[in-house]
Amino acid sequence: MKTMEELQRAFEKSFEDHVMTRAERGDLNSSLKENGLTENQKSVLRSSLFDFARSLINAENYDVAINWLEEVTKLLIRNHSETVTDHTSVFFSPGETCRQAIIGLIRSAEQQLLICVFTISDNEITSEIMAARARGVNVQIITDNEKQYDHGSDIFTMRNKGVLVHCDNTPSHMHHKFAVADSKRVLTGSYNWTHSAAHDNQENVLVTDDVTAVKMYSHEFERLWKAFESDGFSTKSSNV
């Protein structure tokens, strides 16, 4: 059983990567059930957590903080005999929320990260992908064969550093933008993993741990991975 201070620290820790994962929700739900807080204790904890979020909130992470507070509220009003349900969050750009949602998903991966994205040129996201690989996560990337040659593309950099990459080898574009972490959560939407998507474009990102959605996106990744196994990759320059 945790003290109130320990419970509060556990909630605050779930804000660090800007996404409350399903595992974190499950752990927090179990702790609340074990502690059997009174309604007054829940009210005090909720007030403290709102003060915590208020101290950190700014224009860039506003939507992230609101989503986190929504999760906090759901947990504190939950009948703790029930199980944690699936959850979906939605983010929009311009702004940092879509990028932070992507970074949060990457940071949450513990074993496997499947990335199927039209183009990757955002250095912050690339750094997180490389950090995931460095901590032992199996990272696989599918991308478009033409976009890998774009100015600023990070595909060659990651591939040359050992990240497994397959490129579309058809005349058409591989235009997907989705990623699956540990077969538990999927991120998708219109958002290309580029600097301009965060700062200029009207884009969207959806993150869900809906079991059916995760399974279907995972199957699509596996299908494309096999289809593009012989992608004719070359380090030679391209005129596309």
pLDDT tens digits for 175-208? Answer: 999 999 999 999 999 999 988 888 888 999 999 9
Q: Which of 18, 176, 177, 184 is catalytic?
A: 177
- Other Cβ atoms less than 10 A from the Cβ of 132: the count is 23
Q: Is 11 exposed, middle or buried (0-12, 13-18, 19+ CB in 10 A)?
A: buried
- Is 176 a residue of the active site? no
DSSP reduced 3-state for 207: strand
* Sign of CA pseudo-dihedral 234, 139, 202, 172: positive
Q: Which of 13, 161, 173, 175 is catalytic?
A: 175
Per-domain residue ranges of the chain? 4-77, 88-227
- Is 175 a residue of the active site? yes
Q: In whole angstroms, what is the distance from residue 154 CA to residue 152 CA?
A: 6
Given this model, what pLDDT does residue 239 score? 33
Q: Which of 154, 168, 182, 209 is catalytic?
A: 182
The β-bridge relationship of strands 164-167 and 138-143 is parallel
| Assessment of whether the complete model's pTM goes beyond 0.75 | no
Ranges in the chain, pLDDT < 70: 40, 78-86, 231-240
Q: Containing H/E element for 124?
A: helix 123-134
- Is 182 a residue of the active site? yes
Alpha-carbon separation of residue 41 from 5, 128, 168, 178 (angstroms): 12, 38, 55, 40
Which of these, 78, 75, 80, lies nearest to 20 by C-alpha position? 75
Given this model, what pLDDT does residue 86 score? 59
* Sign of CA pseudo-dihedral 139, 140, 143, 145: positive
**CATH no. for 88-227:** 3.30.870.10
